[in-house]
A = this chain, B = another copy of it.
């Protein structure tokens, strides 16, 4: 009983040179054949951005010569679109994105290029998973993340991945043996409290740099934030119908 190895598309938002994508490649390599299309530079915070007013370049990557690996000049979502239309010329069996250097729990899913790549995969009905480690360090320890990647990918490839969704997997900043388990959660209702670092350049002109604090204010046990704070890997099944169904009848009463 021989079975074709699954084709796995790998991308990220920190760029192809990041340690996170290298760790992801190592972790999923045993599960299938690999195609890599990743940004040629950091694309953090790009959300679901696509390049519509400019051209894109796609170049073979010297970093991963043993694989079918390319860098793309665009966003993570551009990478997914180019991989499907021009590299694979079809759909992979699995799309994995990450491992992101930094948390993508709660409302971060909207800003995250890592997760937007996975959401784009879900829109194409490809089983898709975004992985993020709660550590922004460029040299972060991804060993617990690699354990989580293997646990989740193993099950994602068993053939009953739900249609038109992706998974948002976040890994706490712990050693593998300290992780309590993997919990399926909902996206916490927790947001950034924004502020800007305002400084003046050498010409006396102001410039602004986004900073802000993450308000972890939805602590219930069914949330990703609770899971992460309590030593679990969080898995949030994620969809892309943004309709606020619960308010349709209320707005319909506005009597346009």
Partner-B contacts on A (CB < 8 A): 42, 44-53, 55-58, 75, 77-78, 81-82, 84-86, 107, 109-111, 116, 119, 123-124, 151-152, 155, 160, 162, 165, 167, 181-187, 189, 191, 194-196, 198, 205-210, 233, 235-245, 247-248, 250-252, 254-256
With beta carbons under 8 angstroms apart, the residue of B77, B78, B207, B240 that contacts A242 is B240
A208 to B51, CA, bound (A): 10
Majority SS of interface residues in chain A? Answer: mixed
With beta carbons under 8 angstroms apart, the residue of B119, B208, B245 that contacts A82 is B208
Is the CB–CB distance between B48 and A181 below 8 Å?
A: no
Is the CB–CB distance between B238 and A242 below 8 Å?
A: yes
A246 to B165, CA, bound (A): 10
Is the CB–CB distance between A209 and B56 below 8 Å?
A: yes
A46, A82, A208: which has the most chain B beta carbons within 10 Å? Answer: A208
* List of B residues within 8 angstroms of A78 by Cβ: 210
Q: List 13 A-B contacts (CB under 8 A).
A: A44-B53, A46-B47, A47-B49, A48-B48, A48-B110, A48-B111, A50-B210, A77-B111, A81-B196, A85-B195, A155-B255, A167-B251, A237-B244
A95 smallest CB distance to B (angstroms): 14
Is the CB–CB distance between B198 and A86 below 8 Å?
A: yes
A139 smallest CB distance to B (angstroms): 18
Is the CB–CB distance between A240 and B110 below 8 Å?
A: yes
A256 to B227, CA, bound (A): 14
* List of B residues within 8 angstroms of A123 by Cβ: 107, 110, 191
With beta carbons under 8 angstroms apart, the residue of B45, B238, B251 that contacts A237 is B251
